[in-house]
Every structure is written in C-alpha cells, then in structure tokens.
Amino acid sequence: MIIIFADLIEFANDFIVPIIYFINMLFALTVVFIERKSPTATTAWLMALFLLPVIGFILYLFVGQSFHRDRMFRVKKEYDEAMTNLIESQKKDLFSHQIPQLHTVSDAYKRMMLMLMESNRAIVTTDNAVRIFTDGNDKFAALLEAIRKAEDHIHLEYYILKDDEIGREVFSALTERAKAGVTVRFLGDGLGAAGPKRSFFAPYLEAGGELAFFFPSLLHIRHPRINYRNHRKIAVIDGKIGFIGGFNIGDDYLSRVPEWAPWRDTAVMVEGHAVSSMQIRFILDWNYASKGELIEFSPRYFPGSNDSAERLLPMQVVSGGPDTYWNPIKESYLKLISLATESVYIQTPYFIPDESIMDALRMAALSGIDVRIMMPSKPDHFFVYWAGYSYIAQLLDAGVRAYTYDHGFIHAKTIVVDEAAASVGSANWDVRSFRLNFETNAIMYDHQIAMVLKEKYRLDLDVCTELTPERLAALPWMIKLKQSVSRLFSPLL
C-alpha cells in the first residue's frame, strides 16, 4: 500500500503538476493579455496561479474566467436600449424646473441624478411612497399580502430561494394566484436558488406558474463558475407595488435560524413610478434567462400610478453588473460619499472596497465628516470577513469609526448621507458587487427617508461594539494572520 501511494505521488510530481503549471501559464497569459483585469486583481491571480498552483488552478477554473463575458451578455445588451429616449427627455428637464417635485433636491444631487442617467439609464421618478422594513417578518407579511391581492401579474426575482417554511409559504401563495389566472413568474439565480428539488416547484408549475434560472452554476458542465450571479432581490406586483432590498427567501431572513438570529436587514416597499424601473429590470433579466417566450413591454406591465400628495419622493433605481461598461453601483456610492457635508453611515455584511472607495471614505473622514461603517460581529464567509477587518483597520487611522453588530447578523446594504439621501438594495460594499454580480439599489433623495434610516442606524449602535485601533491591536496573532492572508487574496473574492 505504501509503495502504491509513493508511486502515485511520483506520478503526480512527474506528470500532473507540470501539466497544471503549463495550464496555469495559459491562464496567466489570458489574465494579462486577454481579460485585462485591474492591476490589483491581475497581481492576485498571478500569485495564486504560481505560488499555489493547484489551488490557483481550481479557483480560476470556477471563479476567475471571464473571457467569454462579451459573448455571454450580448443578448442581454440588446434589450438595454429601451430607456434611451425617455432619459434624453429627462436630462433636458432636470435643471429647467420642469419637474416641480425636485424643488427640495439640491443641484449637487441633481448632478448625481444626471450622472446615473448617463451611465445607467436610471430614470428619475418623483411620485413615490416608500415603506421601510428592517425585520424579515414584516417584509414578508407585506409581500405575501401583496401577492394574495394580485390581479394581473406577479414578478419575483431573488438570488436565494430555500425549501423551508417561508419558501413554501411564498410558493403556496404564488401557486394560488396562478390557479386564479394571474400571470406569475419567478426568476431565481442558477446557484443561489438551486437548492429546492423539482418536487418543490411541481404544484406551482402545474398551476401555470413560470420559472427561470439566471445563468448556470458552478456545477454546470459546459460553463462551471460561481461568478456572474444575479444577486438582485426584486418583487413587482401588478406593476404598482415593488419590493427591493437585501432580504432573500429563506427562514434565516426571518430570524428563524438560531445561528443567525435575530437577522437584521433592510428593504423597501415602493408605490409609484419607480416600480416601472423595477419592472423593466425584471423583464430584461427574465428575457435573458428564460428559454420560453420573451416578455414584451406591454402596457399591462406599466399601468402607472395615481397622483397623490403623499407620493413626492424622488428616486432612481440603479442596476450594475458585469454587463455594464462602468460600475454604476460603485459610482453611486462614491458620489454619495463626495456629497456628504455632515455624515456618512454605512451598513454592509461584506466590506472589501477598492482603492477609490477607500480614498473617498478616508478623505471624507479627514474633512470632518462623521463616517461610520457597521458590519457583522461573526462571519458567514470567513475569508471575506477577515479581509474586511484589514480594510477597516486602515480606515480607523483616518478617523473613520467602525462597529461590529453584536445582536445577531446584519445583512443590510445601505448608505445614508446627512439627512438628504440614502441607498437601499442588494449591493454589498465589495469588489464582487462592484464587478461580478448583478445588483440593483434604490437611491432615494428624500429628507424624511434619510432621517428614518439614520435613526434606525443609531438604534443599531446600541447593540454594537466599536472597533478601535486598540481593540484591533489586541487581537491574537492567528487572527491577524487570517486578516493578512484574506486581504492578499481579497481581489479574487
């Protein structure tokens, strides 16, 4: 037995390892000359491929490759011209007082609106009413109520779907409405929503519900990868009510899993024309992912909303992903930070910023802005968690204040600037959300909403522990080693 084992090791050294090195060389040439990743990501990949050849080979095979990206998303890009004429019209009206609801919005924030129109075709809507959720039980109660009252169509798009109590409850409600003749479509991610078995969907499909999955997962034979995930969480009911935020569909998001309870997240329910922007996003994603009939931009999906004095909230729905030339999600974060005059409050479960985000936060803090970052006190992804600590340590020296949320798990992806604007959505503060995942955020230019979110942030501080330089310096050497190694490979995460 020992002889056989020794022969296998010799065979691996003589044949398999050289082959892996040769393939890694080809991967390295691809990274440098074809994919042209950022210098930081390129350096990290070259180190992984040559210093850890076997691990680097596996990582690149499942995570790194992107040289088919243009071909993969060519079909999707063909749909993304739908808003061009409307955007051109809004750009002319933005500074000409043609949109009276924007009288409370400063010219600086109007410049931000213009930027997002140019880079993301993000139309400005001003007749919106918003309800904020920070507890999954409240959010799903509202979503289920809206589903059960649906009369024409239901469009759900979620990164994660689990076969558990809330997953079954949601699909039971969807199945009931499908039986009643309502058009029901569910779009899940090919990795995050791959858990439920075929039997889970059988009653729903038999009732006439439609189902699609966005992009094959790492288990797919032809294209094994975990990148390019549809991380969005969007629900549109009858084109009139929309939900967007950080909650997926699973019991843990309702604090029913003791390991993560209580779960702290943020989402909003929207009524108004911003729902049309969410609807467009769903249709574009469905038409790319679905193998059935494409959804046409029919008036039934865009019924509009009744004018109401209570609906005066200006909003843009901003989407980003590897199919966008720029990074509109990251750019919106950068712009919000740059517009701050008093405070920047950030909540995120994952904090792996690039240099531009680091510089913006550092400069804001050095300018006397109250910059605060809140992240979980326990990891659900160890490498990402410890890498985040290393970036936080660097920002503390500039005056940024950071906190760990000790009351369960915080999954919210928010930024509140002064008492003027806020963003709530699916995008984390990490390179994956900026470059590799499909994300959607709602940016609200409203004093009242910003005040509410800021107050919720301050209440969260009561169950947080501040990360001080002294606290970080006192960490065991093993933890510091984890931070260093995790940061080294953070461009790959």
Residue 418 annotated as catalytic: yes
CATH number of 328-492: 3.30.870.10
- The residues near 245 (Cβ < 8 Å, ≥ 6 apart) are 133, 139, 233, 265, 266, 267, 268, 413, 424, 425, 426, 442
- The residues near 327 (Cβ < 8 Å, ≥ 6 apart) are 320, 434, 435
The most confident of 77-91, 275-289, 473-487, by mean pLDDT: 275-289
Residue 456 annotated as catalytic: no
Instruction: Summarize the confidence of residues 367-373 as an average pLDDT.
Output: 98
Instruction: Summarize the confidence of residues 135-149 as an average pLDDT.
Output: 98
Closest CA to 461 of 402, 412, 386: 402
Q: Is the pLDDT of residue 126 over 90?
A: yes
The residue ranking higher by pLDDT, 5 or 246, is: 246
pLDDT at 223: 45
- pLDDT, tens digit (0-9, with 9 covering 90-100), for 12-57: 455 565 666 666 666 656 655 555 555 656 666 566 666 556 655 5
Residue 335 annotated as catalytic: no
The residue ranking higher by pLDDT, 49 or 124, is: 124
Set 231, 273, 335, 482: catalytic member: 231
Q: Which CATH topology does 74-114+123-315 take?
A: Endonuclease; Chain A (3.30.870)
Detail the DSSP E strand segments found in 173-292. Answer: 183-189, 210-214, 233-237, 241-245, 263-264, 267-271
Cis peptide bond prior to 262, omega within 30° of 0: yes
Q: Is the pLDDT of residue 438 over 90?
A: yes
Identical fold, 74-114+123-315 and 328-492? yes
Query: 79-93, 186-200, 307-321: which range is least confident on average?
Result: 79-93
- The count of other CB atoms within 10 Å of the CB of residue 402 is 25
Set 127, 135, 238, 265: catalytic member: 238
CA distance 32 to 45: 10
Residue 179 annotated as catalytic: no
What are the residue ranges spanned by the domains of the chain? 2-67, 74-114+123-315, 328-492
Closest CA to 492 of 439, 438, 432: 432
Residue 238 annotated as catalytic: yes
The most confident of 47-51, 299-303, 328-332, 376-380, by mean pLDDT: 328-332
pLDDT at 488: 62
Residue 291 annotated as catalytic: no
Set 233, 240, 273, 482: catalytic member: 233
The residue ranking higher by pLDDT, 154 or 220, is: 154
Set 162, 413, 456, 482: catalytic member: 413
pLDDT band for 227, please (50, 70, 90 cuts). confident
- The count of other CB atoms within 10 Å of the CB of residue 199 is 8
Angle at 246 between CA 244 and CA 247, to 5 degrees: 90
Helix (H/G/I), strand (E/B), else coil: 261:
coil
- pLDDT, tens digit (0-9, with 9 covering 90-100), for 169-207: 999 999 999 999 999 999 999 989 989 999 999 999 999
